[in-house]
Chain A
Amino acid sequence: MKHARNEPVIEAEGLEKRYGTVHAVRGVSFTIPAGTCVGLLGPNGAGKTTTMRMIMGLSRPSAGRLRLFGVPPGTLGRDLRSRIGLVPQEDNLDPDLSVRQNLEVYGRYFGIPAAEIGERVPKLLEFMQLAERAEARVMQLSGGMKRRLVIARALIADPALVILDEPTTGLDPQARVLIWRRLLDLKRQGKTLLLTTHYMDEAQRLCDRIIIIDGGRVLDEGTPQDLIGRHVRGHVFEVTKPLPPGFDDDGLEREDIGDAVLYYAIDPAELRRRLPAEATYLHRTANLEDVFLRLTGRSLREGG
Chain B
Amino acid sequence: MRAAVLPALTRYTYAVWHRHTLVWRRLIWSSLTSNVIDPLIFLFAFGYGLGAVVDKIGGMDYLTFVVPGLMAHAIMFTTSFEATISAYARFHLQRTWDAILATPVTLTELMSGEMLWAATKGMVSTTCVLTVGWLWGGVPDPAGALLALPVLALGGICFASCALAATAHAKTWEFFAYFFTFWVTPMFVFSGVFFEVTRFPGFVQALAWFLPMTHLIAVVRPLTVGAPLDAWATLGHLAYLAALSAAAFALARHRFGRRMFD
A interface list, Cβ under 8 A from B: 19, 53, 56-60, 78, 81-82, 84, 86, 88, 90, 92-97, 101, 105-106, 108-111, 153, 157
Given contacts A105-B22, A111-B12, contact A78 B104 (CB under 8 A): yes
Other-chain residue from A90, A95, A109 in contact with B104 (beta carbon distance below 8 A): A109
Q: In the assembled complex, which residues on chain B have CB atoms less than 8 Å from the CB atom of A108?
A: 15, 18-19
Complex alpha-carbon distance, A109 and B107, angstroms = 12
Can you name 30 A-B residue pairings with CB atoms under 8 Å?
Answer: A58-B101, A58-B260, A58-B261, A59-B261, A60-B262, A78-B104, A82-B104, A84-B102, A88-B98, A90-B95, A92-B94, A92-B95, A92-B96, A93-B99, A94-B19, A94-B96, A95-B94, A96-B23, A96-B27, A105-B18, A105-B19, A105-B22, A106-B99, A108-B15, A108-B18, A109-B16, A109-B100, A109-B105, A111-B11, A111-B104
Using CB atoms, name the residue of chain B closest to A95. B94
Q: In the assembled complex, which residues on chain A have CB atoms less than 8 Å from the CB atom of B260?
A: 58
Complex alpha-carbon distance, A81 and B100, angstroms = 12
Mark interface residues in B160-185 (1 if CB within 8 Å of A CB, else 0): 00000000000000000000000000
Q: In the assembled complex, which residues on chain B have CB atoms less than 8 Å from the CB atom of A153?
A: 99
B interface list, Cβ under 8 A from A: 11-12, 15-16, 18-19, 22-23, 26-27, 94-96, 98-105, 260-262
Using CB atoms, name the residue of chain A closest to B101. A58
Q: In the assembled complex, which residues on chain B have CB atoms less than 8 Å from the CB atom of A88?
A: 95, 98-99, 102
Q: In the assembled complex, which residues on chain B have CB atoms less than 8 Å from the CB atom of A93?
A: 99
Contact A106 B26 (CB under 8 A): no
Number of A-B contacts (CB under 8 A): 66
Q: In the assembled complex, which residues on chain A have CB atoms less than 8 Å from the CB atom of B11?
A: 111
The smallest beta-carbon distance between A78 and chain B, in angstroms, is 4
Q: In the assembled complex, which residues on chain A have CB atoms less than 8 Å from the CB atom of B94?
A: 92, 94-95
Using CB atoms, name the residue of chain B closest to A84. B102
Complex alpha-carbon distance, A78 and B8, angstroms = 15
